[in-house]
Amino acid sequence: MKQKEQPFTEIHLIPFQHKIIPVKNLSSRFYEQLLPEPIIDATTVTLQGTPLGWINQHDRTCPREAHYHVVWSKGDSALRIAISYQDGPSKESAYRKERARYTSRLNKLVELLPLLLAPTHRYDLAHHRVVENSDVIKINGPIFVYTRSGIELLEHLERARQQLQQDQQEWEAWANQWDDECEHCHGGWNLEQDKQQALSIQQTLRDAGVCLAHPTLYKQMEQSSHFASFRENCWEYALTDGYEMETLTREQEPTEEVVEIDWDLVVDDPHWHDPYNPPLRWSIQETKYTQVSSSFVKMMTATFIRPLRIVLAEQAMATALLHVERAAFDLVGKCDAFPSSQLPTPEVVYQLLQQTEDQLNALTQKWETAYQSLSIDVLEQLFIQG
């Protein structure tokens, strides 16, 4: 009886670049028994041995990404098998891990630099970028802000700056108008003195439980407990000459005094147009012993609206800068490149940012160079014929 022939896989001698390995009577199990080991050293990003060829044989342990297997020799005789991805090193776990480390640092530096430049640089609201200021630091190209938190912080700061500039111009125009009309008042207006008086009024109202807010910047205080009250309490343009107001009323001494305010002191002339509507906002906190009326607030602030708005814009800008500084400290604490006890200078951050970019580019170049040696266009394909 003729015996049944056993399955036999005939594998021819396979020429390699440096040697010829006899593989006669070897099946595909030969490749399955090879020890899997990456041919690229993750630390030095160099080849650990000599690639001999590639095979297109897969099993259940293979990754889902398109790939092939590289047979390589480690030392004189040891053979290994490694995975090489068709899309290049972007799928390599070692490369992705190292790239993620550099990218994480780079993202933090990119977010940190605009915050550190905030005290000396203006912010472009339309294009979400820091306006260059070569007098402070020379930077190649614009610095864009990508995170929502960074954009919001710098927008608040820039709007406060713009508002402060506008308020100062409004005060100067008002002071110049009075100088022109009043020959005895020439040179008599002093912004710093008006600001001191405005600060005194603000403190008096604060002691009475009243918080003032700028009419255009109060929305930046949306997280404040006063926000809802700011929307309700404000100047109204229904005022006329001889407008009647109530003074401060106390529960233990319920009195009401009528005070006549010359509206011309507020608006300067009948044709004056205030660019704000309303010109001022406030929040009244009622306590057990004191109750403040809106009329009292209007009486206190009527003739000092302009310097009050300048003071409030300055305070809004200072608060915005404080928030920027806190955000910068938070980022420094998350970045392993700096001690968290103090903020680095913009120059140091910019230099480190460029250095990190160079390191990231060098890492990618190393992996791409190593992968070129493993390309199927360079290596021979090893066939298993059955």
Return the closest-CA partner of residue 302 out of 239, 213, 255, 250.
239
Calculate mean pLDDT across residues 194-210: 91
1 pLDDT band, cuts 50/70/90, is very low
**Which tokens is 329 given?**
């400290």
* The pLDDT of residue 16: 45
Mean pLDDT of the chain: 78
Q: Report the distance separating Cα 308 and Cα 280, nearest Å.
A: 9
Check pLDDT > 90 for residue 264. no
Sign of CA dihedral 336, 338, 343, 346: negative
Amino acid symbol at 299: M
Quick one: pLDDT band at residue 79, thresholds 50, 70, 90? confident
| Burial (CB count <10 Å: 0-12, 13-18, 19+), residue 16 | middle
Examine the pLDDT at 257 and tell me if it is beyond 70. Answer: no
Share of the chain above pLDDT 70, in %: 72
Tell me the pLDDT tens digit for each residue of 329-374.
Answer: 999 988 888 877 789 999 999 999 999 999 999 999 999 999 999 9
Q: Summarize the confidence of residues 206-216 as an average pLDDT.
A: 86
**What confidence score (pLDDT) does residue 248 get?**
33
| pLDDT score at 76 | 67
Note the pLDDT tens digit of each residue in 265-322: 344 444 445 566 677 888 877 665 566 777 788 888 888 888 999 999 999 999 999 9
Residue 2 has pLDDT above 70, yes or no: no
Each residue's pLDDT tens digit, 33-60: 788 999 999 999 999 999 988 988 888 8
Cβ within 8 Å of residue 56, ≥6 positions away: 68, 69, 381
Decide which of 207 and 291 is more confident.
207
pTM over 0.85: no
Question: What separation in angstroms does the CA of 153 have from each of 111, 133, 157, 287, 344?
Answer: 12, 19, 6, 34, 19
